[in-house]
Amino acid sequence: MIRKTLKNTSKNEKLRALIEKYKIPPEYLSTNRKMVSRAVLLGLFIAFIPMPFQMLLVLAFVPFFKFNVPIGLAMCWLSNPLTMPPMYYMEYLTGSFLLGIKPEPVEMTLEWFSNNMDNIFIPLYAGTALYSVFGSLLAYWAVNHFWKSSVHKDKKLHRKHR
């Protein structure tokens, strides 16, 4: 269903006029399986990294990788102000577990973070590495799997109706 919606959106005349007006390379808006799955992979990989300006990092990868830029940008919004604290706390706990460090009790104040950044930095980014790599690879696989199964299902229905 999402695949068909993306295909229909890409045929929209207003969107084509916008692309021509601003001379946007069409491959950055391509809605094929490879472009969408790459966008999900890159966007989610960056979404798990605790850093400011995640969207700018996604845009920095545009010249090096071909992917659907709007979907990549949307994926990095997984870590929004509502989801950041639980995501980063889980990454910190996971990193502490992986490194064999007893996690410190966290207080949600700027003063606590500024005083304890040295203690939580390494466990946080160890957990971040785990979630970024495996979370984005799992999402990449899921997009490919469900896209291919959708195509096979549509082919079966098409053959059945002929």
Q: What is the pLDDT of residue 46?
A: 95
Residue with tokens 């997009």: 143
> Distances from the Cα of 76 to the Cαs of 14, 46, 81, 94, in angstroms?
26, 6, 12, 21
> Distances from the Cα of 30 to the Cαs of 6, 24, 36, 55, 65, in angstroms?
9, 11, 8, 19, 13
Whole-model pTM above 0.85?
no
d(CA 48, CA 51): 9
Q: What is the pLDDT of residue 153?
A: 86
- The dihedrals phi and psi of 108, each to the nearest 5 degrees, come to -85, 65
Q: What is the pLDDT along the chain (162 residues), one digit of tens a residue?
A: 565 666 665 566 776 776 777 677 777 777 888 999 999 999 999 999 998 899 999 999 988 988 988 899 999 998 888 888 899 899 999 999 999 999 888 887 888 888 888 888 999 999 999 999 999 999 999 999 998 988 888 888 877 776
For residue 73 the two structure tokens come to 């940008």
